[in-house]
Amino acid sequence: MSDPIQDRGFVVVTGTSTGIGAATALHLAENGFHVFAGVRNAEDAETVKAGAPDALTPLILDVTDQSAISAAAATVAGIAGDRGLAGLVNNAGIAKPAPIEYQPMADFREQLEVNLFGPVAMVQAFLPLIRRGCGRIVNVGSVGGMLVLPLNGAYSASKFGIRAVTDALRLELRQWKIDVSLIEVAPVQTAIFEKTYAELDALEQKLSETEYGLYEEQIAAVRKSTEKAAASADPPLVIAEAIADALISDKPDTKYLAGHGGKGIAVAAALPDRERDFALVHELGLPKPE
């Protein structure tokens, strides 16, 4: 008979409908956590629940909706009780590539709302439960928080931001021995690639003929680079395992560079600005100055 799974307590994970979030919810459930799995609708809730019926509790949760966050926190508190939370994993995220010059401010703001303001709102709502349970916080960032590509300014702004928030929280919460880790995600096999292709392809219709013509070569270069990254991307389980380590390890890392493509990106990110720009121009095949 195999040993019983250790009861590791309750953890909240956002964005569990697909990809990294779905893999993380299931992996944590398999490793002894009871997972409150954040999803956007009832259909996704049923799908997530089916993965581990006894260890997953779906939460209908939009991280941009303060009332939904408050309701979710109340639900979790009612179930977790005095045990509190062993962890909060801020995973929900989106990407809407576009040239900054012509990107609608609503799209720019939406990326910050979901990828940066949402995690902060989640931390504020769930910290009393984390403190009660001597839990941890894990923020899912991106190598886009180290290295910026053209058309990805808004996305990278959100990911640089979550890196700063993580650093601040790590210092602020040290007093209560609450560990805070950042997962810097390299390319992973998720639906974000198909969504990115769709966003890039849609730019031809969203922009005027003149606007699109100005950025056409850059759009093509970024799409080609995205396709190359997708071809060698790691499975989501690689990230789920890093998140689990951040929650379970006796001494979790402050930052996890997760995915085999991360090291090369980190090296490029550390170059002086002009050298990094030069390297990216040649790697991506960006147009020469006119």
Positions annotated as catalytic residues are 155
CB 119: neighbour CB atoms within 10 A? 28
Cα dihedral: 194, 200, 201, 202 (round 10) = 110
Rounded (5°) CA angle 57-63-66: 105
In whole angstroms, give the CA distance from residue 119 to residue 156: 15
- Return the closest-CA partner of residue 53 out of 34, 80, 79, 72: 34
- Return the closest-CA partner of residue 173 out of 83, 243, 88, 70: 88
Instruction: Mark out the alpha helices in the chain (DSSP H runs).
Output: 19-30, 42-51, 66-80, 105-112, 118-132, 153-172, 192-206, 209-231, 237-248, 262-269, 273-284
Q: Distances in Å between the alpha carbon of 144 and those of 2, 95, 150?
A: 42, 11, 11
In whole angstroms, give the CA distance from residue 59 to residue 57: 7
Retrieve residue 48's tokens. Answer: 């997530």
Place of tokens 């922009």: 207
In whole angstroms, give the CA distance from residue 202 to residue 187: 22
Do 85 and 129 touch, CB atoms closer than 8 A? yes
